[in-house]
A and B are shown apart, each in its own frame.
Chain A
Amino acid sequence: QSVLTQPPSVSGTPGQRVAISCSGSSSNIGSDTVSWYQHLPGTAPRLLIYNNTERPSGVPDRFSGSKSGTSASLAISGLQSEDEADYFCSVWDDSLNGRVFGGGTKVTVL
């Protein structure tokens, strides 16, 4: 059971907007910054969002992050077939004194 809760899957058609939620608590999301990662099978995870809302160089602006209280969200607008992947949220947890990940959300492009 992950400390951060994500939906197991979301799906959308090309061009649609989808959002992935990440629910935590006051000891993690409520007190530190959230990052999001894209993971394709057989490859290394890729940082998509850091500091809740910031995109590293090279990440398309179709990806956006937000945070409110003890929850965070990753939105993908203009969904593309290449966006089919697993997405994980992550944050430092002060109670556990360690980094935690969400269980992951599989995005399917219909």
Chain B
Amino acid sequence: EVQLVQSGAEVKKAGTTVKISCRVSGYVFTDYYMHWVRQAPGKGLEWVGHIDPEDGETIYAEHLQARITITADTSIDTIYLEMSDLRPDDTAVFYCASEASGSLDYWGQGTLLTVSS
């Protein structure tokens, strides 16, 4: 059974940095691209970026790329999203997802990030 298990909720002050994780099980970690997607309160889904766990190659959403870093640790089948210079409008639920069929097939349970001013 494929499982994506994310780290717990975070509360941060504006201007600080957060790092959230997503641990994968149930398939070969390097087989599928991994994505981060977020949903701000009352808003739709927004793609943040993705990583190829096999070689670490990343693509980020253009408007976020100056503040985010996605990494993968193949020794523990885990990806990370680090976001810096946090702002209150970064408050959102962040989801990791794996791409097995050209789509986001499997999803984590979500991590709530709350940023206060």
Question: Which residues of A are in contact with B by a Cβ distance under 8 Å?
Answer: 2, 33, 35, 37, 39, 44-47, 50-51, 54, 56, 86, 88, 90, 96-104
B contact patch SS: strand
Are the C-beta atoms of A98 and B47 separated by less than 8 Å?
A: yes
C-alpha spacing A102/B45, complex, angstroms: 8
Are the C-beta atoms of B59 and A45 separated by less than 8 Å?
A: no
A contact patch SS: strand
* Stretch of B12-20, B69-77, B81-89, B106-114 that contacts chain A: B106-114
Are the C-beta atoms of B45 and A37 separated by less than 8 Å?
A: yes
Q: Residues of B within 8 Å of A, CB-based: how many?
A: 24
Which chain A positions have C-beta within 8 A of B103?
33, 35, 47, 50-51, 90
Question: Which residues of B are in contact with A by a Cβ distance under 8 Å?
Answer: 35, 37, 44-47, 49-50, 59-62, 95, 97, 101-110
Residue among A54, A56, A99 making CB contact with B47, cutoff 8 Å:
A99
The distance from the CB of A14 to the nearest CB of chain B, in whole angstroms, is 26
Which chain B positions have C-beta within 8 A of A46?
107
- 6 additional contacts (CB under 8 A) given A45-B37, A101-B47: A44-B108, A44-B109, A44-B110, A88-B45, A90-B104, A103-B44
